[in-house]
């Protein structure tokens, strides 16, 4: 991180008081809200355990999830800047938070998630270490339900695969191999902040990474990117 990357990120000797940050993350549960909290998604009999939509710890709606994300990032950023520049008055800090939003996804406990109950559908994922890390990408063109773990892949045709009961009328993922990573991007720009070098802003981003990961359960898929504006 000591050299300019050539992709526009801030250079060590470059100064800015309005840098832009890009966070590539799996969001913590309280930065999400159920995409569909229909009672159909509660206490589904998976044969071994009941599969239930998680609603405790999420935002009550998308506005609340967005507010949670914005407040957590603002608080963490203030701490991160003070760690690098202890004399800066964080009351003077202002950020453009329009790129900080919550996320609508139904969250379940690993490894089960249900994306459809009869005609009721919603994007669905699983929670690991306090964050929604994976999204179920099962789709089905047939009718009825689907069972995932009981049949080896490739040994049944799509129509048969999609009409097996889990329970009847549902579409779900049962094993981790049926998921893709749930990765989202958040951006924000400091509107008024301390004038600091690229080296210092990268130190701020490292601190921000550690604070959000350890205190807010944000899981990063890569380092935070910092641009001069």
DSSP the chain: --S--SSSPPPTT-EESS-EEEEEEEPBGGGEE-S---GGGSSEE-SSSEE----TTS-SSHHHHHHHHHHHHHHHHHHHHHHH-TT--GGG-EEE-TT---EE-EEEETT-EEEEETTEE--EEEEETTEEEEEE----SSSS----SSS-TTSS-HHHHTTS-SSTTEEEE-SGGGEEE--EEEEEEEEE---EEHHHHHHHHHHHHHHHHHHH--EESSPPEEE--
Any domain includes 3: no
pLDDT digit string (tens) for 105-131? 999 988 888 887 766 778 999 999 999
Any domain includes 196: yes
Any domain includes 170: yes
Any domain includes 180: yes
Any domain includes 4: no
Any domain includes 2: no
Structure tokens at 218: 């944000």
Report, as an integer, the average pLDDT of 128-149: 67
- Number of structural domains in the chain: 1
Any domain includes 194: yes
pLDDT digit string (tens) for 40-77? 888 776 666 778 899 999 999 999 999 999 999 999 99
Any domain includes 120: yes
pLDDT digit string (tens) for 208-219? 999 999 999 999
State the Cα–Cα distance between residues 118 and 140, nearest whole angstrom: 12
Note the pTM of the prediction, 2 decimals.
Answer: 0.86
Structural domain boundaries enclosing 152: 15-227
């Amino acid at each position: 991180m000591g050299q300019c990357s050539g992709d526009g990120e801030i250079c060590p000797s470059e100064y800015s008081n309005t840098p832009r940050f890009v966070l590539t993350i799996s969001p913590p549960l309280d930065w999400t809200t159920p995409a569909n909290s229909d009672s159909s998604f509660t206490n589904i009999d998976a044969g071994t355990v009941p599969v239930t939509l998680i609603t405790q710890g999420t935002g009550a709606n998308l506005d609340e999830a967005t507010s949670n994300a914005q407040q957590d990032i603002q608080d963490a950023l203030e701490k991160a800047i003070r760690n690098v520049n202890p004399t800066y008055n964080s009351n003077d800090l202002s950020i453009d938070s329009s790129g900080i939003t919550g996320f609508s996804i139904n969250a379940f406990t690993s490894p089960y998630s249900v994306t459809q109950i009869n005609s009721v559908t919603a994007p669905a994922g699983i929670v690991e270490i306090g964050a929604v890390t994976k999204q179920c990408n099962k789709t089905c063109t047939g009718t009825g339900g689907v069972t995932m773990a009981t049949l080896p892949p490739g040994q049944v045709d799509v129509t048969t695969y999609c009409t097996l009961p889990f329970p009847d009328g549902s579409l779900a993922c049962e094993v981790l191999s049926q998921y893709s990573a749930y990765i989202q991007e958040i951006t924000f720009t400091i509107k008024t902040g301390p004038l600091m070098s690229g080296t210092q802003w990268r130190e701020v981003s490292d601190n921000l990474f550690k604070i959000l990961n350890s205190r807010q359960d944000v899981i990063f898929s890569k380092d935070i990117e910092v641009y001069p504006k």
